[in-house]
Each structure stands twice: as structure tokens, then as C-alpha cells.
Amino acid sequence: MMLSKGWFYWPSLILSAVMVPLAFAPYYHYWLLPLFLAELLVYQAIRPEWRIRSAYFWALTAYTSLLYWVDTALHDIAGLPQYLALPLTLLLPAYLAIYPAAVFWLLGKFRVSVSIRYAILFPLLWTLAEFVRERALTGFGWGALGYSQIANSPLAGYAPVGGIFLVTLVTAATAAWLAMLYLNPKKRAKIGFAISLVALWTVGALLLQHNFTQPDGTQATVALGQGNIEQTLKWNENSLQRTLQRYLDQVDSTQADIVILPETAIPIMRQDMSPKDLDLFVQTANRHGSALAVGIPQYTADGKGYLNAVVNLTAAAQTEPPSYAKNHLVPFGEYIPLPNMLGWLYQRMDIPLADFSVGGSAQAPLQLANQRVGFNICYEDGFGDELIAAAKQSSMLANISNMAWYGKSHAMQQHLQQSQARALETGRYMVRATNTGMTAIINPKGEVVAQLEPDIEAVLEGKIEGYQGLTPYMRMGSSWPMAITCLLFLTVFWLYGRFRIKKT
């Protein structure tokens, strides 16, 4: 059999892994990922002795293809020499690939039939593995299986019911059942898997049409600034006034109800900013009747630390205007993990303000015009569970980001796809104001209704509706109940297999 030959097995497996990014933004070919994963399962069944190494190298290749832009941030922007940047770029996929490899290692420990192992246990284990990796070592959920289905796939309909991990579960189940159509020799079993696939996707499509939340009767026009300031110039003192003028002009160019400027749009501590410059932003917004929220770092209350914040400058300048400060910080970009061991590495990189303080997990939405806006900053919208508390109190969500760190790569579009998932999970509009892209307006169905081209200076204007109510995922409060359910099912099958062995 040709599939079992090493000369065919490995190149074809790696080829499918290289093409994994096609399933994610900006391509959105969601149907590819279940096929690629089904291929991996079939290959595992053909050569079970290679199952762990093939899973690891498949995942290593897939994550490297998907996250290649880490090198852009480390080398092109932070200035790390390539002999350090490239190994560090590969280190992340090398770590992430451990989780799929662990899934197939654990599959081999269950004493059950192949059908049960693949059709039931594989989706449960894969989902649990991704749940763990979103939390382990500060967490990294980028590239999770479920994101490939957002927001065009019928499987995206499961997002408001159980969050991104339920989408991951049904995507993994789709792959497993496709594999069983090939692997299971019994005609009745093939028919059963085919019916199950149709049912799974039909239910998803129906859920996608259902409205779990409702408009609250309010509407607002929004203007989202995209300054397109190069990262290498952003913190240059000589560029400060030019940056301030660019964003001031954007505020002055619109009469929208709500104006939002990107993460660290103003690259100076709020308390250190000239009162005259700060008042210019306030007065310009007031003159146009706009509520203004600006990304600007600020000192902590005790003055000993600093925060990555978005500040509500709607009213006249206050000593302490309402703000939201980022709580889930980026390792190396915003804080230094294990500084005694890794501090030398930071010294080699040009990263300003890499020691932010956390803002806290119980921050209230900001009142902008007639909307209660639940803010999250950049990396934070990759963690759905952490947005639930604010979303419950909010009529809309907003993300401010600075993706200039990643150049013209697909990191911007992949990040947009995560925001689409958050809109679906919470049943609310999500607006995004970014420095270089992707600045966009996303409706509660996760659809991008308006967006700017990346890498241009512009303002995106549009209209949103305020929403109220809770999705089932929000009522659940987090993904923990689903993770525990997966673990319970796995435990039952583990005990069942062990009991059968003892009985025989």
C-alpha cells in the first residue's frame, strides 16, 4: 500500500500541514482543516508505530506555517539578530506541537475499539489539549482548531453555545468521522458516520441562524482610527508631535457618536502628556459631539508602575478619567517572564515599556455616548473566557490593537478572526481600532460588515446597534464546564477499557 511507504507518507503528510494556514484568515477555506486532520488520522491508523512522531511533525509544520510572523516581530521590529530570532520563532511551534503529540500518545493508552478511539476519544482529547494550552505558561490560544471555522462555516454556529472550544470539538469530530468513513470497513458504520456528519453540520447551520441576544434599541455611529505609524518610529521622541497631529486630525475628521483610537495611539504616559495637547483631543471631540476613547499608557495609582490603557476622554480633562487597563499581558512584549534567567534576551531587543502592570480582572465597561463598551486590548481578545464578565455588562465590545509589530504578515487577519469569534460568543458587535490593521466592524454573527485596507492611514466609519441578553456560553461563565465534561467522558472510557481487560 503506497500510503504506508515512508517516501510517500512523510512528504504528503507534511504537505497538508504546510497548507493549514489556508483554512484560517485571510483565506477562510474552513473546509480544508477537517480534511487535513482526517488525513492525519488515516495515516496514524496505517502506521500506528509512527503515530506520535507523525503527529508532532505535522503539528510542528502547521504551527510554523501559521505563526511565521513571530520572526518579523523579533528580527525586523525588535532588532534581534536572526541567529537568535529564528530559533526563538521555531521554539513556539515546537512547544505547541507537544499538545497534538500528547493527544495521540494518550489515544494509544485507551483499551477500546478503533472506532471509539477515533470517533469519540480523539475529539475529546484534542479539545482538552487546546483548553490546557490556552492556560498553561500564561496561555496561547492562537491557531486553535475552532478558529478555522469562524465565521463562514456552519460549525461557527456552536460558538455562542459553548465558545471556541465547542467549535474545536465539533471540528475535530468532523475530521474523525471523515476518517472513519475511510477506515471502517462496515457499510452500516459508514452510513452512521455520514448521517452523523450531516446532522452535526445541519445543527450548526441552524444555530448560526438563531439569535441568542437582542438589540437593546440603541444605535450609534462609530469612527475607528487607523494611524499607520511605523513601529520603528512610534516611540521616537522626534515623531511624537507628528503622531499626535495625525490622530488629532482623525478625531477632527468625523462627527461620529463614538471615536476610538488604537492601542498606544498616543505614545507617551498620559500623566506626562502636555495638558494643552491632551485638551486639544478633548475639545476637538466635544466640538463634534463625539465620545472619545484613546489608547494611551498611564502610570498606576501609586506611580510606581505603568499600564497599557484605553482612556475615556469624553468629558473635560479630569485628574483620573475613566479607563480600562490591559490585564492579560504578552510575554516579552509587555512583561519579562523569569527575568533572572531571560533578562539578557530582553536587553538584546528594542522593546519599550516591557514591564507593564496588570489592570485587574473586574474592570467595568466605559460609557461612550449611549453605549456601554467592554474594551479589550490586542492579545486579550484571544481569550474568550476572560471577556465574558465585561460582555455581560456591555452593549458592545471594542478591541484596540497595534499589529505593526508583525509587519505586513497575516497576523493581522488571524487576529481579526479571533475578534469574529468573540462577537459570535457574546452576541454583540465588536469594533476594532488598530494602528496598521485590521480595523473593522463585526456584527453579532461574527461577520465583518466593514473594514479598512491594512497599512493605510484612514478612519473607518459605520453604525452599530447595542445588544442585550446572554448567549448560552456567557451563561455558562467559562469553558471549564465543557473541559470537565470532556475529562469525565475520557475517564469513563478509560475505566471501561481497564475493566474489560480485567474481566477477560
Q: Say whether 410 sits in a helix, a strand or coil.
A: coil
Q: Where in the chain is the domain with CATH 3.60.110.10?
A: 215-326+356-470
Which grid coordinates are listed for 208? 448560526
For 169-228, write each residue's pLDDT tens digit.
Answer: 999 999 999 999 999 889 999 999 999 999 999 999 999 999 999 999 999 999 999 999
CA distance 75 to 95: 20
Q: What is the CATH number of domain 215-326+356-470?
A: 3.60.110.10
Q: Among residues 429, 446, 453, which one has the least CA distance to residue 374?
A: 429
Among the listed ranges 3-12, 15-24, 341-350, which one has the minimum average pLDDT value?
Answer: 341-350
Catalytic residue numbers? 263, 326, 378
- How high is the pLDDT of residue 138? 82
For 356-367, write each residue's pLDDT tens digit.
Answer: 888 888 799 999
Q: Residue 404: what residue type? A: A
For 129-181, write each residue's pLDDT tens digit.
Answer: 999 999 998 889 999 999 999 999 999 999 999 999 999 999 999 999 999 99
Q: Please, are residues 393 and 374 in contact by the beta-carbon 8 Å criterion?
A: yes
Q: Residue 231: what residue type? A: Q
Write b or e for each residue in 3-36: b if 16 or more Cβ atoms lie within 10 A of its Cβ, otherwise e: eeeeeebbeebbebbebbbbbbbeebebebbbbb
Is it the case that residue 373 has pLDDT exceeding 80?
yes
Query: Which has the higher per-residue pLDDT, 6 or 214?
Result: 214
Q: Give 442-500 as a 3 state SS string.
A: ECCCCCEEEECCCCCCEEEEEEEEEEECCCHHHHHCCCHHHHHHHHHHHHHHHHHHHHH
- Identify the top-confidence range among 204-213, 300-309, 377-386: 204-213
User: How does DSSP classify residue 72?
Assistant: I
Q: Does this model's pTM top 0.75? A: yes
Query: Which has the higher per-residue pLDDT, 314 or 29?
Result: 29
For 200-216, write each residue's pLDDT tens digit.
Answer: 999 999 999 999 999 99
For 424-464, write each residue's pLDDT tens digit.
Answer: 999 999 999 999 989 999 999 999 999 999 999 999 999 99
